[in-house]
Amino acid sequence: MSVDIYWRIGTHGDQPSLRRRVASRGEWAPVVPGSLAPGVRDGRRDGYSYVEHMGDVARASEVSGFVGGLLPSFPNTDDPWATAATLARETTTYRFMIAFQPGFLHPVQAARMSASLQRATGGRVVYNVISGGGGPDQLWWGDKVAHDDRYARTSEFLDVLRGVWDGGPYDFEGRFYRVRGAGLPEELTGQPFPEIYFSGSSKAAIDAAGRHADHYLSWLEPFHALREKFDQVRANSDRTPKFAVRIDVLARETEEEAWEEIRRGWDNIDPSVLRGATGDSIGWQRSQSFVTGAVNGHRDLEVTPNVWGGFHLLRGGPAFGLVGSYEQVAERLDELINLGVGAFILAGVPHLEEAYRVGENVLPLLRGRDLRVASPLLEGTPS
């Protein structure tokens, strides 16, 4: 069984560590002395842009053995489509997993954009299809469609996109889209259709994923909960599904070093980050349900060995990740592979340095599986 392991490229700046929740990299935070990409030298910006920093992360993760990188999309990020086109020339075989909400593009235009990128990059585009978490962020996009209807719209979107992919003419009449004689120009037809990583934890999401997903993508949860979710996807799939998990990793030489890093971040938590989410994301609600009982210290959020539910308090994003020694983190990843996970999106703060750390110290410890990696020199090399 081959396993694809992606890295996350922060499209909205980055923190120097998990010890303090403050951004110091990128233009999404105030650029002050001590900032990077751009930095301030002699009272002026040094001319090094955050796009160049994202290029550094892409190159670091490519050379460290990751097959590609996730490009997230939120109101406070660079656009992942434009970023993928920019970074493609900075890498060789590295894939770009573009996160997007189908409601904000017409499927025919999305097909043309994707086919153009596939032709330009040699087929290195991958989709992370998301249908939105609701709440203020969803309204930021001007989207008032209700939760379950967003997944119905996504399903129609993917039907149309596939329908026009190889040329057309293609007709479609649905609730959200109507096309007549649609198709791509001959020069763009025949490109490989991007793999689809499909996110969502609700029944509506799982039903849609069963129809369209190459990989059903979940945030990390306690392993028994992931097993149950995977079983639900299998029961609702028209084909044999594959699974992927998005995981933050804090791995160090020893378990004690890893937990000490978490403790130092915990001691600097801003109480304002303890407020709950405001959207209608079922995945977020699920993640909060796994922590029961009083939380008096950081280890109270370790729900099972090395599975820690407090990452959202130290940086933006999902709650659960892995904390431990290099060997322990590799063991937990191996356990997930044995549950049927065929792909991972790993992440660490800061993204650049942790790409090297995880690539050098964790990936080689995975046992009994072949990793598909970006570098042609390593293709097919067993770990």
Of residues 262 and 202, the one with the higher pLDDT is: 262
Of residues 210 and 175, the one with the higher pLDDT is: 175
Query: pTM of the full predicted structure?
Result: 0.90
Plot region of 178 (φ>0 → left; ψ -120 to 50 → alpha; else → beta): beta
Closest to 162 in 3D by CA, of 121, 129, 135, 139: 129
First to last CA, the chain: 12
Is the predicted pLDDT of residue 128 greater than 90, yes or no? Answer: yes
On the CB side of 371, CA atoms within 13 Å amount to 25
- pLDDT tens track for 155-204: 999 999 999 998 889 999 999 999 999 999 999 999 999 999 998 878 88
pLDDT of residue 124: 98
CA torsion through residues 370, 372, 376, 378, sign: negative
Binning pLDDT at 50, 70 and 90, where does residue 108 land? Answer: very high
For residues 68 and 126, is the Cβ–Cβ distance under 8 A?
yes
HEC per residue, the chain: CEEEEEEECCCCCECCCCCCCCCCECCCCCCCCCCECCCEECCEECCCCHHHHHHHHHHHHHHCCCCEEEECCCCCCCCHHHHHHHHHHHCCCCEEEEEECHHHCCHHHHHHHHHHHHHHHCCCEEEEECCCCCHHHHHHCCCCCCHHHHHHHHHHHHHHHHHHHCCCCEEEECCCCEEEEECCCHHHCCCCCCEEEEECCCHHHHHHHHHHCCEEEEECCCHHHHHHHHHHHHHCCCCCCEEEEEEEEEEECCHHHHHHHHHHHHCCCCHHHHCCCCCCCHHHHHHHHCCCCCCCCHHHHEEECCEECCHHHCCCCCCCEEEEEHHHHHHHHHHHHHCCEEEEEEECCCHHHHHHHHHHHCHHHCCCCEEECCCCCCCCCEC
Is the predicted pLDDT of residue 376 greater than 70, yes or no? Answer: no
pLDDT of residue 202: 82
Most confident of 49-53, 286-290, 376-380: 49-53
Q: Which two tokens stand for residue 381?
A: 């090399």
- pLDDT tens track for 304-338: 999 999 999 999 888 999 999 999 999 999 999 99
Most confident of 34-48, 105-119, 201-215: 105-119
**What's the one-letter identity of residue 231?**
D
Query: What percent of the chain is modeled with pLDDT above 70?
Result: 87
Rounded mean pLDDT of the chain?
A: 88
* Mean pLDDT of the 251-265 span: 97
pLDDT of residue 283: 54
Q: Bridge-partner residues for 14, per DSSP?
A: 25
Residue 141's alpha-carbon distances to 98, 128, 136, 138, 146, in angstroms, are: 17, 18, 9, 6, 14
pLDDT of residue 282: 55
* Mean pLDDT of the 272-284 span: 52
Is the predicted pLDDT of residue 43 greater than 90, yes or no? Answer: no
pLDDT of residue 381: 34
pLDDT of residue 369: 61
